[in-house]
Chain A
Amino acid sequence: MELNDFVKEFAFQFDDTDPSEITASTEYHELEEYSSLIAMSVLNFVEKKFGKSITFDDMKAAVTVEDLYKIIIEK
């Protein structure tokens, strides 16, 4: 999965946030809607789409959506 597709899938995990607000450089921890439930949803979709398991600590370590993508790719 390319970065652009990942950003779209990432944005799809949010219910109330306009997807156009989320880009590769978005610092997702700062989004008002970002919560444990969104994090769970992202962890789930990463496992399904990439066949790789990342952790809550990986999500905490990444600042932007692109950072998270790089962590997944490097796993």
Chain B
Amino acid sequence: MKKLSNDFSLSRYGVDARLAEITDAEFILSIRTDTYHTRFIHTTENNLEKQIEWLKKYKEREAAGKEYYFIYSQDGIPFGMNRVHNIFEYYGTEGSWLCKPKNDPKASMASYMILHDIMFEDLDLNLSIFDVRKDNKKVWKTHKAFGALDIGESEIDYYFSIYKKDYIKCRDKFVSFF
């Protein structure tokens, strides 16, 4: 299992990705407390101190190679975030993908693809396992377009997996949209 350095950054598809820092707390909170765009994910209390504490604990998980939280910027202005967590041997769980309302669609999709590029190339994972709210139709349709396979469901969620080989095959097609 590979680890990312604490100053990891990547520029691809016209956007810049870097690891989240404690100083990102305010930005993260501003996006995570937008009620319309976060209606399908776990709610976050609008409390800056708690967000800072959460990020401090996250940095410990990052140092251990268990989780990586990414902040995406375009022209130096942050617009989105996502993360891979519960990393173990060859797999991890992706999630927490959020972008500013009315963000440039190209940049938002770039952030989706960069997360997977990092998971499957930089971290050399082979599998992503995650859940999506059944009502979050546009998101699970997008995952399926990138090779996600149904592996189960609960009353409210679908469970998916994406294998590296399937993502790479789909990515090669979607890169032409950029």
Contacts and interface: CB of A to CB of B under 8 A. Distances in A.
With most chain B CB atoms within 10 A of its CB, the pick from A15, A36, A41, A44 is: A36
A60 B103 CA distance: 12
Contacts of A37: 138-139, 141-142
Contacts, number: 51
B140 to A, nearest CB: 10
B106 A60 contact: yes
Contacts of A44: 145
Interface residues of B, number: 19
Interface string A43-58: 1100000000111110
B76 interface: no
Interface of A (DSSP majority class): helix
A47 B106 CA distance: 17
A40 B137 CA distance: 13
> What class of interface size applies to chain A in its complex with B?
10 to 19
Contact of A55 (B104, B138, B145, B177): B177
B13 to A, nearest CB: 10
B105 A41 contact: no
Contact of A15 (B109, B137, B178): B137
Interface of A: 15, 34-41, 43-44, 53-57, 59-60
Interface of B: 99, 103-109, 112, 137-139, 141-142, 145, 174, 176-178
23 contacts: A15-B137, A15-B138, A35-B105, A35-B108, A36-B103, A36-B107, A36-B109, A36-B112, A37-B138, A37-B142, A39-B105, A39-B106, A39-B109, A40-B105, A41-B142, A43-B177, A53-B176, A54-B177, A55-B176, A55-B178, A56-B178, A57-B106, A60-B105
